[in-house]
Amino acid sequence: MNMEIPELQQFLEAMGQQKFRAKQIFQWIGRGVREIDDMTDLSRDLREKLKLSAHIGSLNIRRKLVSKIDGTAKYLFELTDGNVIESVLMRYKYGHTVCISSQIGCKMGCKFCASTQAGFMRDMTAGEMLDQVVSIGRDAGEKIGNIVIMGIGEPFDNYDNVIKFLRLIHDPNGMDMGYRHMTVSTCGLAPQIARFTGENMPVNLAVSLHAPDDKLREAIMPIGRKYSIDKLIEACKIYTEASGRRITFEYAMISGVNDSLETARKLALLLKGMFCHVNLIPANLVAGSGFDQSSKKHLLEFKEALVHSGIETTVRRELGSDINAACGQLRRSEMEKNS
Ligand code: SAH
């Protein structure tokens, strides 16, 4: 199911059906039904017709790992075309959060990231993104309160499908999730951040910064060559002003690369006065990447330097560290097993 209500109405009308059925079907999908036969308020005749021309689910759980430490669950899903992607269920005090993938693979080439190493296969549809949330909610028997698009892929490189997904999950007839409960994480496609500002969806924006100057950023993130930090920060400022939402800058701490006190000072200078927050991520690196995680001491000193300069800073809690929960790692190990 990859349709918003108006599309679903057209689809039904083309079948000679009444369009108010669209809302009923949409509500069933939001409640997580898997079989058209379970849509019990539709006539048997309509259900039979729908079965011939439509299907609901697009994912099957291939593997599921549950952390013994914190209950974080990692799902490896198989799509109808045989590709695999991963999604994560995190249990926070403020509600259950699902981290979804937006593409199969990634083109961005960040040097430290496992998701991009096997290359790019294709964009995901809005329905495939929605199905990650619906399938996990059904499997865990839990209400999903928040979503973050921080799994495999660059959401703004799949712009139209991501916007459609955000609308689908927001629809009051479906999952009815408020935009404030959604977060999009981008490696910094400045023009798309500007375009997104115009959508008037007050979702949380997270930007993977990882370095405060162009030279360093370009060395670890090829996208930095296309959009300078100045351009990126300018787009971010416009977003916060228009949406009233505070931006999160993600910063993976990599030993000897971007974790010095001098770098912290540069970062503080860059972000001074912005409505933002820095989230330091203890880098979760794959063996052989040539990068190492910063020591705890460096991490805390870096944080102190930012806080001292008036920049709100948190250190990301490591969830599911016993189950390879960092993005792209489970898919990668699965692909290596099969190759
Ligand atoms: N493409 C998007 C979303 C996917 S990555 C983006 O770049 O934001 C989600 C976050 O995990 C990003 O901040 C990314 O830079 C970070 N990340 C990727 N690999 C990592 C690693 N090995 N350790 C820590 N964070 C990593």
Total-model pTM: 0.93
Give the distance from CA 166 to its chain's centroid: 11
Site residues for ligand 1, CB cut-off 6 Å: 110, 112-113, 150, 154, 185-187, 208, 250, 252, 281, 283-285, 326-327
The pLDDT assigned to 58 comes to: 78
Nearest ligand 1 atom, CA 112: 22
Q: Which of 78, 86, 199, 301 is catalytic?
A: 86
* pLDDT (0 to 100) of residue 327: 58
Report the separation in Å between the CA atom of 100 and the middle of ligand 1, taken as the mean of its atom positions: 13
Q: How many CB atoms lie within 10 A of CB 173?
A: 14
Tokens linked to 243: 């949406």
Which candidate in 234, 327, 334, 336 is catalytic? 327
> Is 86 tagged catalytic?
yes
Output the pLDDT for position 2. Answer: 81
- Separation of alpha carbons 95 and 117, rounded Å: 32
Q: How far is the CA of 319 from the centre of ligand 1 (A)?
A: 15
Closest-CA residue, ligand 1 atom 18, reads 113
Angle at the Cα of 211 from the Cα atoms of 207 and 216, rounded to 5 degrees: 135
Concerning whether 35 is annotated as a catalytic residue, the answer is no
Q: What string of pLDDT tens digits covers the 339 residues of the chain? A: 688 899 999 999 999 999 999 999 989 988 888 889 999 999 999 999 998 888 887 799 999 999 998 889 999 999 999 999 999 999 988 889 999 999 999 999 999 998 888 899 999 999 999 999 999 999 999 999 999 999 999 999 999 999 999 999 999 988 999 999 999 999 999 999 999 999 999 999 999 999 999 999 999 999 999 999 999 999 999 999 999 999 999 999 999 999 999 999 999 999 999 999 999 998 887 777 789 999 999 999 999 999 999 999 999 887 777 777 565 666 767 666 665
> 15 alpha carbon to ligand 1 midpoint, in Å?
44
Please name every residue paired with 206 in a beta bridge, in sequence order, or none if there are none.
185, 248
Helix H or strand E encompassing 297: helix 296-308
For position 63, what pLDDT does the model report?
93
Output the CA angle 269-157-56, nearest 5 degrees.
Answer: 130
Question: Residue of the nearest CA to atom 17 in ligand 1?
Answer: 113
Q: How many angstroms is it from 214 CA to the middle of ligand 1?
A: 18
Q: Cα separation of 84 and 324, whole Å?
A: 16
Minimum CA distance residue for ligand 1 atom 13:
208
pLDDT at 114: 87
